[in-house]
Amino acid sequence: MKSKKGEVPSEFENLLIQNKKKEKEKKEYVNWSWIFKIVIIAFLISIGMSFVSESTIPHMSLFFGVVVTLLFVFLGILFDIVGVSVTTADEAVFHSMNSRKVKGANVAVKFKKNADKVSSFCCDVIGDICGIVSGAAGTTISLLIASKLSTDPFITSLVVSATIASITIGGKAIGKSFAINKSDIILYEFAKFISNFYKG
Protein backbone atom coordinates (compact mmCIF):
# COMPACT_ATOMS: atom_id res chain seq x y z
CA MET A 1 0.00 0.00 0.00
CA LYS A 2 1.46 3.35 -1.06
CA SER A 3 0.79 6.64 0.68
CA LYS A 4 0.05 9.82 -1.29
CA LYS A 5 2.99 11.94 -2.38
CA GLY A 6 4.31 14.11 0.43
CA GLU A 7 2.42 12.20 3.15
CA VAL A 8 4.15 10.26 5.94
CA PRO A 9 3.31 6.53 5.79
CA SER A 10 0.76 5.57 8.44
CA GLU A 11 1.47 3.09 11.22
CA PHE A 12 -0.70 0.56 9.42
CA GLU A 13 1.30 0.96 6.19
CA ASN A 14 4.57 0.53 8.10
CA LEU A 15 3.19 -2.64 9.66
CA LEU A 16 2.30 -4.01 6.21
CA ILE A 17 5.81 -3.25 4.93
CA GLN A 18 7.41 -5.01 7.93
CA ASN A 19 5.16 -8.06 7.48
CA LYS A 20 6.09 -8.31 3.80
CA LYS A 21 9.79 -8.21 4.71
CA LYS A 22 9.29 -10.97 7.32
CA GLU A 23 7.36 -13.12 4.84
CA LYS A 24 10.14 -12.71 2.28
CA GLU A 25 12.75 -13.75 4.84
CA LYS A 26 10.70 -16.82 5.80
CA LYS A 27 10.29 -17.83 2.16
CA GLU A 28 14.02 -17.53 1.54
CA TYR A 29 14.86 -19.83 4.48
CA VAL A 30 14.48 -23.55 3.81
CA ASN A 31 15.49 -26.05 6.47
CA TRP A 32 17.03 -28.64 4.14
CA SER A 33 18.37 -30.69 7.06
CA TRP A 34 14.85 -31.17 8.47
CA ILE A 35 13.45 -31.98 5.01
CA PHE A 36 16.15 -34.61 4.44
CA LYS A 37 15.52 -36.18 7.86
CA ILE A 38 11.74 -36.27 7.44
CA VAL A 39 12.03 -37.85 3.98
CA ILE A 40 14.29 -40.62 5.35
CA ILE A 41 12.02 -41.16 8.37
CA ALA A 42 8.94 -41.27 6.12
CA PHE A 43 10.68 -43.79 3.85
CA LEU A 44 11.59 -46.10 6.75
CA ILE A 45 8.18 -45.89 8.44
CA SER A 46 6.43 -46.49 5.12
CA ILE A 47 8.51 -49.61 4.51
CA GLY A 48 7.75 -50.89 8.02
CA MET A 49 3.99 -50.31 7.79
CA SER A 50 3.78 -51.65 4.25
CA PHE A 51 5.72 -54.76 5.28
CA VAL A 52 3.32 -55.42 8.17
CA SER A 53 0.32 -54.87 5.91
CA GLU A 54 1.54 -56.93 2.95
CA SER A 55 2.93 -59.79 5.05
CA THR A 56 -0.04 -60.24 7.39
CA ILE A 57 -3.36 -59.24 5.79
CA PRO A 58 -3.25 -61.65 2.79
CA HIS A 59 -2.74 -64.56 5.22
CA MET A 60 -5.44 -63.50 7.68
CA SER A 61 -9.12 -64.25 7.81
CA LEU A 62 -11.39 -61.57 6.37
CA PHE A 63 -12.39 -60.38 9.85
CA PHE A 64 -8.83 -59.87 11.11
CA GLY A 65 -7.81 -58.33 7.80
CA VAL A 66 -10.53 -55.70 8.24
CA VAL A 67 -9.46 -55.13 11.86
CA VAL A 68 -5.81 -54.51 10.86
CA THR A 69 -6.89 -52.16 8.05
CA LEU A 70 -9.08 -50.18 10.46
CA LEU A 71 -6.15 -49.98 12.89
CA PHE A 72 -4.12 -48.21 10.21
CA VAL A 73 -7.03 -45.84 9.56
CA PHE A 74 -7.51 -44.99 13.23
CA LEU A 75 -3.75 -44.62 13.77
CA GLY A 76 -3.74 -41.96 11.04
CA ILE A 77 -6.71 -40.21 12.66
CA LEU A 78 -5.06 -40.34 16.10
CA PHE A 79 -1.83 -38.75 14.89
CA ASP A 80 -3.80 -36.13 12.96
CA ILE A 81 -5.49 -35.19 16.27
CA VAL A 82 -2.10 -34.90 17.98
CA GLY A 83 -0.72 -32.80 15.12
CA VAL A 84 -3.59 -30.31 15.33
CA SER A 85 -3.38 -30.21 19.14
CA VAL A 86 0.31 -29.28 19.07
CA THR A 87 -0.36 -26.24 16.87
CA THR A 88 -3.38 -24.99 18.84
CA ALA A 89 -2.34 -25.71 22.46
CA ASP A 90 -1.38 -22.88 24.84
CA GLU A 91 2.37 -22.97 25.49
CA ALA A 92 2.05 -20.89 28.67
CA VAL A 93 0.09 -23.69 30.35
CA PHE A 94 2.97 -26.13 29.89
CA HIS A 95 5.60 -23.63 31.05
CA SER A 96 3.59 -23.29 34.27
CA MET A 97 3.34 -27.07 34.64
CA ASN A 98 7.03 -27.48 33.85
CA SER A 99 7.97 -25.02 36.62
CA ARG A 100 6.09 -27.33 39.02
CA LYS A 101 7.94 -30.37 37.63
CA VAL A 102 4.77 -32.03 36.32
CA LYS A 103 5.60 -35.22 34.44
CA GLY A 104 5.67 -34.73 30.67
CA ALA A 105 5.40 -30.93 30.82
CA ASN A 106 9.01 -30.44 29.65
CA VAL A 107 8.34 -32.67 26.65
CA ALA A 108 5.13 -30.74 25.90
CA VAL A 109 7.09 -27.46 25.96
CA LYS A 110 9.64 -28.85 23.53
CA PHE A 111 6.87 -30.14 21.24
CA LYS A 112 5.16 -26.76 21.34
CA LYS A 113 8.39 -24.91 20.50
CA ASN A 114 8.77 -27.21 17.50
CA ALA A 115 5.06 -27.29 16.69
CA ASP A 116 5.57 -27.02 12.92
CA LYS A 117 7.88 -30.04 12.84
CA VAL A 118 5.79 -32.14 15.24
CA SER A 119 2.61 -31.31 13.33
CA SER A 120 4.28 -32.13 10.01
CA PHE A 121 5.49 -35.48 11.35
CA CYS A 122 2.13 -36.43 12.85
CA CYS A 123 -0.18 -35.18 10.09
CA ASP A 124 1.95 -35.44 6.97
CA VAL A 125 4.25 -38.38 7.68
CA ILE A 126 2.27 -40.75 9.90
CA GLY A 127 -1.16 -39.57 8.73
CA ASP A 128 -0.39 -39.77 5.01
CA ILE A 129 1.48 -43.07 5.29
CA CYS A 130 -1.42 -44.61 7.19
CA GLY A 131 -3.76 -43.37 4.46
CA ILE A 132 -1.64 -44.94 1.71
CA VAL A 133 -1.13 -48.23 3.59
CA SER A 134 -4.81 -48.54 4.52
CA GLY A 135 -5.69 -47.92 0.87
CA ALA A 136 -3.33 -50.69 -0.25
CA ALA A 137 -4.71 -52.95 2.49
CA GLY A 138 -8.20 -52.16 1.24
CA THR A 139 -7.28 -53.61 -2.16
CA THR A 140 -6.29 -56.88 -0.48
CA ILE A 141 -9.49 -56.84 1.59
CA SER A 142 -11.62 -56.30 -1.52
CA LEU A 143 -10.00 -59.33 -3.19
CA LEU A 144 -10.70 -61.45 -0.10
CA ILE A 145 -14.33 -60.31 -0.06
CA ALA A 146 -14.75 -60.92 -3.80
CA SER A 147 -13.34 -64.45 -3.55
CA LYS A 148 -15.37 -65.40 -0.47
CA LEU A 149 -18.69 -63.84 -1.50
CA SER A 150 -18.27 -64.30 -5.28
CA THR A 151 -18.88 -60.61 -5.92
CA ASP A 152 -17.54 -58.54 -8.80
CA PRO A 153 -13.91 -57.59 -7.91
CA PHE A 154 -14.18 -54.15 -9.55
CA ILE A 155 -17.39 -53.15 -7.72
CA THR A 156 -16.10 -54.62 -4.45
CA SER A 157 -12.85 -52.64 -4.76
CA LEU A 158 -14.79 -49.42 -5.37
CA VAL A 159 -17.02 -49.95 -2.33
CA VAL A 160 -14.14 -50.90 -0.01
CA SER A 161 -11.99 -47.95 -1.17
CA ALA A 162 -14.89 -45.52 -0.75
CA THR A 163 -15.65 -46.92 2.71
CA ILE A 164 -12.03 -46.52 3.87
CA ALA A 165 -11.86 -43.00 2.43
CA SER A 166 -15.13 -41.92 4.07
CA ILE A 167 -14.10 -43.33 7.48
CA THR A 168 -10.70 -41.59 7.21
CA ILE A 169 -12.13 -38.22 6.12
CA GLY A 170 -15.02 -38.33 8.60
CA GLY A 171 -12.73 -39.43 11.42
CA LYS A 172 -10.25 -36.64 10.74
CA ALA A 173 -13.03 -34.04 10.54
CA ILE A 174 -14.37 -35.10 13.94
CA GLY A 175 -10.82 -35.42 15.29
CA LYS A 176 -9.82 -31.89 14.26
CA SER A 177 -12.79 -30.37 16.07
CA PHE A 178 -12.00 -32.44 19.16
CA ALA A 179 -8.28 -31.53 18.94
CA ILE A 180 -8.99 -27.79 18.78
CA ASN A 181 -11.36 -27.88 21.76
CA LYS A 182 -9.18 -30.16 23.92
CA SER A 183 -5.73 -29.26 22.60
CA ASP A 184 -4.03 -28.70 25.98
CA ILE A 185 -5.27 -31.98 27.44
CA ILE A 186 -4.40 -33.99 24.31
CA LEU A 187 -0.90 -32.54 24.04
CA TYR A 188 -0.27 -33.11 27.76
CA GLU A 189 -1.42 -36.76 27.64
CA PHE A 190 0.64 -37.40 24.50
CA ALA A 191 3.71 -35.70 26.01
CA LYS A 192 3.29 -37.63 29.27
CA PHE A 193 3.23 -40.90 27.33
CA ILE A 194 6.28 -39.93 25.24
CA SER A 195 8.14 -38.85 28.41
CA ASN A 196 8.30 -42.53 29.41
CA PHE A 197 10.74 -43.04 26.52
CA TYR A 198 12.10 -39.53 25.92
CA LYS A 199 12.85 -36.94 28.60
CA GLY A 200 13.05 -33.86 26.36
DSSP 137-152: HHHHHHHHHHHHHT--
Q: What is the dihedral of CA 12, 15, 21, 24, to 10 degrees?
A: -80
Residue 85: pLDDT over 90? yes
pLDDT, position 188: 94
Domain boundaries, the chain: 31-194
Q: How far apart, in whole angstroms, are the C-alpha atoms of residue 69 and residue 41?
A: 22
pLDDT, tens digit, 9 for 90 and up, residues 184-193: 999 999 999 9
Q: Quick one: DSSP state of residue 167?
A: H
pTM comes to 0.79
Q: How many residues does the chain have?
A: 200
Share of the chain above pLDDT 90, in %: 55
Spatial CA neighbour of 123 closest among 161, 88, 158 = 88
pLDDT, tens digit, 9 for 90 and up, residues 30-65: 778 888 888 899 999 999 988 988 888 888 888 898
Tell me, what amino acid is at 74? F
3-state secondary structure of 114: coil
The model's confidence at residue 198, banded by pLDDT at 50, 70 and 90, is confident
pLDDT, position 71: 94
